[in-house]
Chain A
Amino acid sequence: MTVGNKILETNSVTMRFGGLTALDGVNYSIQEGEVRGIIGPNGAGKTTLFNVITGELKPTSGKIFLRGTDITSLPPHAICQEGLSRTFQLTFIFPEMTVYESIWVGVNSRARRPWNPFILAHQAADLSQRTQEICHLVGLEEKMNELASNLSYGDQKILEIAMALSTQPSILLLDEPTQGVSPQETDNITEVVEKLSSKMTIILIEHSMDVVLRLCSSIAVLNEGRVVAEGSPKEISKNEEVQRVYLGEMS
């Protein structure tokens, strides 16, 4: 996929919770096909930005455009139907459903009549094929029949990604996919995201610089609800302000 038009754009989005300003006039845009990292210290507003984009929160002011259409006031399910999908920082799955079924439900949401009561769910051949494809893509095919709650935390993180993929998104928002998992699992997850990066636009919130540098073609730095820097990984690591707010904090 070639890098092209602006696919997602936020127009001075501000989000206030009472006296706290979580996002302060964020102007941000991402090109089609890009893999964009968002970094920043804790409380910088990264997840809030995701929540606002996906419709979970309505911004206090500002607008969000997906391929030029205003999605600011749409509910989460409608935004998902527009081809924007997300994962959650803390795993947010269907605990008593299997891996296969969790993904199946997402695949089904794009069916012509997802609620069809006149067929049996397992008879929809196109859906089961698509579900299996996704299982293979993320490497969960061995665990298709396991309950989601029985998976290891790393596999649950992969399931999160698989569920987000199941709705056939053209833009994928990943919220700290490698947070709290072992180095081995981090490698797995990074590999999965790398595979996806050739197929869709990805925005990635991540704390691990290794992962960000490996995956992302460009990085935005968020601090106190503002985008303080944007650019290629090289430019970002040289940027003085970034070193002050983010890298400096770690040393």
Chain B
Amino acid sequence: MKLDCALRVSHPGFTLEIEETLYLTGISAVMGASGSGKSTLLRALAGLETPQRAHVTLNDWPLHDSVAGLCLPPHRRGIGYVFQDARLFGHRRVLGNLNFARQRARPANGGAPALDAVIAALDLSSLLERRTQGLSGGERQRVAIARALLANPRLLLLDEPLSALDLGRKTELLPYIRALPGRFGIPLIYVSHAVEEVAQLADEVLILDAGRVTARGEVHEVLERPEAEAVSGHFEAGVLLDARVRRQVPEFDLTELDLAGQHLTLPRVEAPPGTPLRLRVRARDVALALARVEGVSIRNQLQARVLRIDAEPEGAYAEVLLDLPGAEPGRAHLRARITREAAANLELAVGQPVWALVKSVSFDRRDLGSPERNQG
């Protein structure tokens, strides 16, 4: 699905100016700090806000063309929207909310989501007769997502749907969202300011800053960039790695993973062997050594090669970009944050083989995500 989007929205305080063509297949994320224009962009796409200037087409079908004086109202765009505050209809029960969407669904050119499929996908069968006022935050958002799906949109926009939820609920909901494009064939645009959510869900990400796109590309790659650091706050610069579960080590409650031919262990992950996992490793959790170290508590030691050393402009630190042999070039990087003094002392140079020590403890459980949800 091709989304051509050229917009200019002026608010008191900032102006959103975008000119992008997006190829939407799975989940595309829009990230940015509060006030960067993410919600404005989404609302403009849905037709809930009127840009000063706009040219938006979806698969070359015009949604908004200010030159031609065409602006489709929201109810005619076929674009679904999940709000941050769910916005369920209080005068209807859960099933009533779902039926509201079904009764107004876009005519299905094959493949409209079936009610049973949606209820199953979002685990709503026990909630159908409940009043919306009595639902928990996570339940409300599940209903909101289900309702949006049942309207049979061509594209589904989600505006920070998890930001009002606590950690437990977020973790609970992420797999549901992750599964949507595969299960229902509808691409998602997901807006968030939380790196953890984007890291686990998205295939592609746009970074917005003060109303402008500052970075765009595959999730792996963009989250490693300095621009992502600005959005996710300091000390969060890191990398994403794709590994696979190799085996469980029950005596120590550990799981062994295979990463580009090397092994990693981390605290027990409930997943069968072969399950792909996406890991996030912060630069500050990686130390470097010239040789494999014995007699140390850090169990995860990976062979790596120095690609680049970037001294930070102020202060004592430098960031070393490494790559892992055995992985496709550019597909598995590591970053290590060490002092400049250490770099000098170890005489680190580009191309030099080193050992990267990754503290087991620093595999933060919430950084664990899976590219595909387990079926069954």
Instruction: Please determine whether chains A and B interact with each other in the same assembly.
Output: no
Q: Which residues of B contact A (CB under 8 A)?
A: none
Which A positions have Cβ atoms within 8 angstroms of B? none
